[in-house]
Amino acid sequence: MDITRPDAHEAPLCLRAMKTVLGADGVIGPAEARLVAAAQRIILGTDLDFDALEPIAPKALAEGLTRPALRTQLIGAMVVLSFASGEAGPEQLEAIEAFAAALDVQLDEVGTLRRYVKRNLALLRFDVLRRMYIGQGVARIWEEDGVRGIVRTIGGAAGLRTDPALAAKYRALGEMPEGTLGRALFDHYRTNGFPLPGEKYAGPEMMILHDVAHVLGDYGTDHAGEFQVAAFTAGFRRAQSWSILIFVLCQFDLGVRVAPLAGVDAQIGLLEPEPFFEALMRGNGMKLDIFDGWDFWAAADRPLDALRAEYGIAPA
């Protein structure tokens, strides 16, 4: 995610727009206020009195914000904060659509919010997954092996088949020296009781990069850890960032099961804004996107600390 920081003139306009959206239903609750306070401190680097700010009309915002990147980022932030508030409704959606039209921003995730508000959850799930690495991975399997590849992937996750050669390849990571990326990934799987790729009930191999992100960022697999690793991933990704954030908010905070993942279930209202935004900015500081052509096996035998330093991953 390429984060564009607003200047001293733009920041109040952005916050006024956020206030207009979050207060569109007539009230800004404590959870929404915490979200904005955390965003100010961690992302914007401002300390403005949010309560004292006046709402703003779409035309006035468009006149004050001229940078296209900042315009797009603001609409994306509006969508994500509406999901994160847990109170997204037709009033917020209408306000965001009006701002998007005035700023001449076309963002697919506005449509995702529309489906959430209208409770068209089947299309919401499709929207989110097809814009993430999950959807891209399934598309690659289809292109390379067609129906047979899809059936094989589903069968592995369902415990109907195993791949001994693939499992042996990943079990060999356990023989690497402690402190290497490969050994840390192996320990991550075994410590958390996850089957390695190729073992019974294992997820598709394409999902290992999600677990590599857990290891590189040193994030757990509990409720808080999943929020943080998603934000961390959205930060270093060069694409799909908004959908990644929407996915984790739906999956673990709003009770909208986007993907049939084992482990942590949704617990509504438990999002902690500060570590969430801190993880986003930490990921944003990375020098590469591990989902974009990075070779895990070329880095597997290297020291984890050295990789973190090389990739620009700040201490947690």
Write the DSSP assignment of 240-257 as a string of letters: -HHHHHHHHHHHHTS---
In total, how many domains does the chain have? 2
Do 103 and 175 lie in one domain? The reply is no
Residues in CB range of 130: below 8 A, 6 or more apart: none
Given a contact cutoff of 8 angstroms between Cβ atoms, the answer to whether 245 and 234 are in contact is: yes
Average pLDDT score over residue span 200-226 = 92
Average pLDDT score over residue span 226-253 = 89
Q: What is the pLDDT of residue 213?
A: 97
Do 148 and 90 lie in one domain? The reply is no
Q: What is the pLDDT of residue 125?
A: 83
Question: Is residue 206, in this structure, part of any structural domain at all?
Answer: yes
Q: Token digits for 195?
A: 């089957």
* pLDDT band, residue 252 (cuts 50/70/90): confident
Do 110 and 232 lie in one domain? The reply is no
Distances (CA, A) of 64 to 16, 58, 70, 96, 258: 12, 10, 11, 17, 37
Pairwise pLDDT comparison (158 vs 303), residue with the higher score: 303
Question: Is residue 218, in this structure, part of any structural domain at all?
Answer: yes
Do 101 and 25 lie in one domain? The reply is yes
Which of 69, 86, 119 lies at the terminal end of a domain, its last residue? 119
Question: Is residue 215, in this structure, part of any structural domain at all?
Answer: yes
Do 157 and 246 lie in one domain? The reply is yes
Question: Is residue 144, in this structure, part of any structural domain at all?
Answer: yes
Residues in CB range of 162: below 8 A, 6 or more apart: 156, 198, 199, 200
Do 150 and 249 lie in one domain? The reply is yes
Do 111 and 150 lie in one domain? The reply is no
pLDDT at residue 230 is higher than 50: yes
Do 21 and 71 lie in one domain? The reply is yes
Separation between Cα atoms, residue 178 and residue 181, nearest integer Å: 9
Question: Is residue 33, in this structure, part of any structural domain at all?
Answer: yes
Question: Is residue 291, in this structure, part of any structural domain at all?
Answer: yes
Pairwise pLDDT comparison (137 vs 19), residue with the higher score: 19
Helices (H) and strands (E) in the chain, counts: 16, 0
Separation between Cα atoms, residue 315 and residue 295, nearest integer Å: 23
Residues in CB range of 200: below 8 A, 6 or more apart: 156, 159, 162
Given a contact cutoff of 8 angstroms between Cβ atoms, the answer to whether 6 and 70 are in contact is: yes
Phi, psi of 303, deg, nearest 5: -60, 135
Residue 180's CB is within 10 A of a number of other CB atoms, namely 19
Range of the domain at 202: 133-311
